[in-house]
Amino acid sequence: MRLHYTEWDPARHGTAGPVFDQLFDLFQKLLQHTAGDAEEALDWMRQLDAKYGLTDGADMDLDDFIEELKKRGYLRDEADGEGQRIEITARTERSLRQAALDEIFHDLKKNGRGNHDTPHAGRGTDRLPETRRWQFGDDLTHLDVTGTVHNALRRSGGARDWTMREDDLRVHQTNHQATVATVLMIDLSHSMVLYGEDRITPARKTALALSELIMTEYPKDTLDIVAFGNDAWEVSVKELPYLNVGPYYTNTRAGLQRARDLLHRRKNQNKQIFMITDGKPSCHFEDGRMYRNAYGLDRRIVNKVLDEGVACRREGITITTFMIARDPYLQNFVRELTEANRGRAYYADLNDLGSFLFEDYVRNRRKNVR
């Protein structure tokens, strides 16, 4: 095999170097905060460049950077009613998922694809050193040849015409492996951006990272995303970068109902709901009409949510709540829901939200409620 080296040609190979990588890293971080709005992110970059001189002395300015993004397939010009608008592409959406995964789950260790090990030995694909007697239906690819032959020779007394019987067969034990169906519920109510704190960005970033984790490391698992505000609706992976809050109340009941309906369709052995929220349930539907109350914990609303928690428990669906607010009365609601479902709850810091969720997903085992 011969290798041919040529001089770097920017027209053919694109502009390379640390300047582009640094600008691209900043651009992706800004996209996380603008819910995928490329023009707003680029406007922020121009303001930062004017204030801090991001491209001073560099071999490219922001206009060059934008053209390079288009050349590499990260941006495209899209026509709208007022002219041309710059938008991100599917390649950028994938890059955002990978960047979120790298940032939040940086401690991820590769442990196989598509499976979660459990403490139980059974029929799986990862062989253990321990062996046992063969049973009807066991996969003979896990046969312990050495142990089997040793049993046959010992029973035959070392005779030259030794024979092998069923009782001689030994097989390696294997890890029993379970697939998981997960629904991630994301609160998009208006309180997620109130009080001077951006709560939607870490929630959105966590959803991006979890979707990338499952698609790349656990492809046999399933992930559905449910957004909830006044009502609840399913969100595709493609829509994740663009999730944003609205002028919504918090219909936690509708979110749980939609999540439970999605899990009914999944054939996975284990089913769970991860709910990221910062507030109390403040509305639900009664006879097709919305009943709402944004003040305090209205038992008329809360009790309906607790009923959904009980329904999930009866169907073997565990609810893990990631609470990103510190109000004691809101934590009381979370405790009630956790007790009704016999699930788990974390009162997570925004900076650690992804780590909490990642740890709970990968371990896939019960923990004490915090």
Q: What does the pLDDT look like over 225-255, one tens digit per residue?
A: 999 999 999 999 999 999 999 999 999 999 9
**105 falls in which pLDDT band (50, 70, 90)?**
low
209 vs 2, residue with greater confidence: 209
344 vs 15, residue with greater confidence: 344
Instruction: Of 78-92, 101-115, 151-165, 226-240, give the range with the top mean pLDDT.
Output: 226-240
* Coil vs helix vs strand at 65: helix
Taking a C-beta distance cutoff of 8 angstroms, is the pair 80, 39 a contact?
Answer: no
* Coil vs helix vs strand at 29: helix
* pLDDT value for 17: 58
Alpha-carbon distances, residue 254 vs 10, 110, 189, 281, 328 (angstroms): 53, 36, 13, 10, 24
Q: Is the pLDDT of residue 292 over 90?
A: yes
Q: Per-residue pLDDT averaged across 266-295, rounded?
A: 91
Q: Is the pLDDT of residue 302 over 90?
A: yes
For 66-81, give one letter per residue: b (16+ CB within 10 A) or e: bebbeeeebbbeeeee
Tell whether the torsion through CA atoms of 77, 78, 84 and 88 is positive or negative: negative
Q: Is the pLDDT of residue 97 over 80?
A: yes
**174 falls in which pLDDT band (50, 70, 90)?**
low
Q: Is the pLDDT of residue 7 over 70?
A: no
* pLDDT value for 10: 53
Q: pTM for this one?
A: 0.73
Residue 250, number of CB atoms within 10 A of its CB: 28
- Cα three-residue angle 351-356-358, rounded to 5 degrees: 110
Report the residue count for the chain.
370
CA distance 153 to 268: 44
Residue 319 pairs in a beta bridge with 273
